[in-house]
Amino acid sequence: MTMQHQDWLELTKETALEPAMPICDPHHHLWDYPDKLPEAGVPVFAREPRHYLLNELLGDIGGGHNIVKTVFLECNSMYRKSGLEAMRWVGETEFVQGIAAQSASGLYGDTEVAAGIVGFVDLTLGDGAAPILEAHVEASRNRFRGIRHISTWDEPNNITSRSRLPHLLSDAQFREGFSRLRGYGLSFDAWLCHTQLGELTDLAKAFPDTPIILNHIGGPLGIGTYAAKRGEVFQDWKKGIAGLSACQNVAIKLGGMGMPIMGFGWHERPRPPTSPELAESMAPYLTWCIEKFGVGRCMFESNFPVDKRSYSYTVLWNAFKRFSRGFSAGERAALFHDTAVRVYRLA
């Protein structure tokens, strides 16, 4: 982040609560985009900061919480410059594998950064996805855990996925590629809008033996035409989450709410929210997810550095800890660590 933004984050400083509690952060990114690269060459979500590597991640993690493992999620970073276009995506896994090896040296602390790696393959390649999946697995030294193929689509608000398909999850070629995940023991991370939860439910029912992890509480939108309809969106989102929760192969990540697309507007405030404020605002969403999925299929996530636009890493995990104080020790262990470790096969 820029110094100006870092100064803004410093306006709300907190000491980490319950610092001994083990945490597995199942969702963060890593990227590095040269300052000379035109804005058009950098993904929108990665334009600030342009550099988020091991030291930057450790700087956020180093606020006092006990982050024992992390999972990297694809972010269109460090694709190969040459070779078959479909194989260029493997460059991201090679890049993250290098950072994971740095972390594994023990010279950077005890956190196992990128203990799991989730990459990208265009599953609309159908059968053609298989050799790319194999290349990811080979490049990761046993860290590769799955694919994320973003399917966000909301035409009225100009939200589209990289595939530009409005109903990607129902596409026959996509499903052909999706069917290859099970053979490699891989899971699927889903990032979509709340209006698409029914499509994901249909996919999960069609492939009950393939693990699916829903990102960012299912994307309840709070911008554009939805900005003045928070109550209506919340009710529609609740119905979608309830229907999806019946699919036992689906787990859900609790977080991502600092993205402007969610409409909370924390990034526009004179100072960042405190953890009590965050816990209160997030509670209706987190509570509903846990009620429907159970702690065995729920995991807190940071979504850093994307969510860093709205709050610091330390404050976010304090908010999760405040929210969950009424849960049992076993339930909290699941939410903060055990579910993520099991779902991503990190043990």
pLDDT value, residue 35: 85
Neighbours of 185 (CB within 10 A): 12
pLDDT value, residue 17: 98
**Is 44 domain-assigned?**
no
**Is 141 domain-assigned?**
yes
Q: Supply the range of the domain harboring residue 183.
A: 3-12+119-343
Return d(Cα 95, Cα 112) in angstroms, integer. Answer: 16
Average pLDDT, the chain: 96
Residue 19, pLDDT above cutoff 90? yes
Contact between 335 and 299 (Cβ < 8 Å)? yes
**Is 103 domain-assigned?**
no
Q: What is the pTM of this model?
A: 0.96
Q: Which residue has the higher pLDDT, 116 or 42?
A: 116
Q: Per-residue pLDDT averaged across 304-320, rounded?
A: 98
To which residue do tokens 């960012």 refer?
216
Looking at the structure of the chain, the number of domains it has is 1
> Which pLDDT tens digit goes with each residue over 201-256?
999 999 999 999 999 999 999 999 999 999 999 999 999 999 999 999 999 999 99
pLDDT value, residue 276: 98
State residue 167 phi and psi, 5-degree precision. Answer: -130, 55
**Strand, coil or helix: 205:** helix
DSSP summary character for residue 30? -
Lowest mean pLDDT among 30-34, 182-186, 208-212, 313-317: 30-34
Tokens of 30: 């890593």
- Cα torsion angle, 77, 52, 260, 333, sign: positive
Residue 1, pLDDT above cutoff 80? no
> Which pLDDT tens digit goes with each residue over 78-105?
999 999 999 999 999 999 999 999 999 9
pLDDT value, residue 3: 63
Lowest mean pLDDT among 43-57, 121-135, 328-342: 43-57
Q: Per-residue pLDDT averaged across 41-61, rounded?
A: 89
**Is 110 domain-assigned?**
no
**Is 269 domain-assigned?**
yes
> Which pLDDT tens digit goes with each residue over 270-290?
999 999 999 999 999 999 999
**Is 70 domain-assigned?**
no
Give percent above pLDDT 70 in the chain: 99
What CATH number corresponds to the domain at position 285?
A: 3.20.20.140
**Is 101 domain-assigned?**
no
**Is 72 domain-assigned?**
no
By C-alpha distance, which of 112, 122, 28, 114 is closest to 75? 28
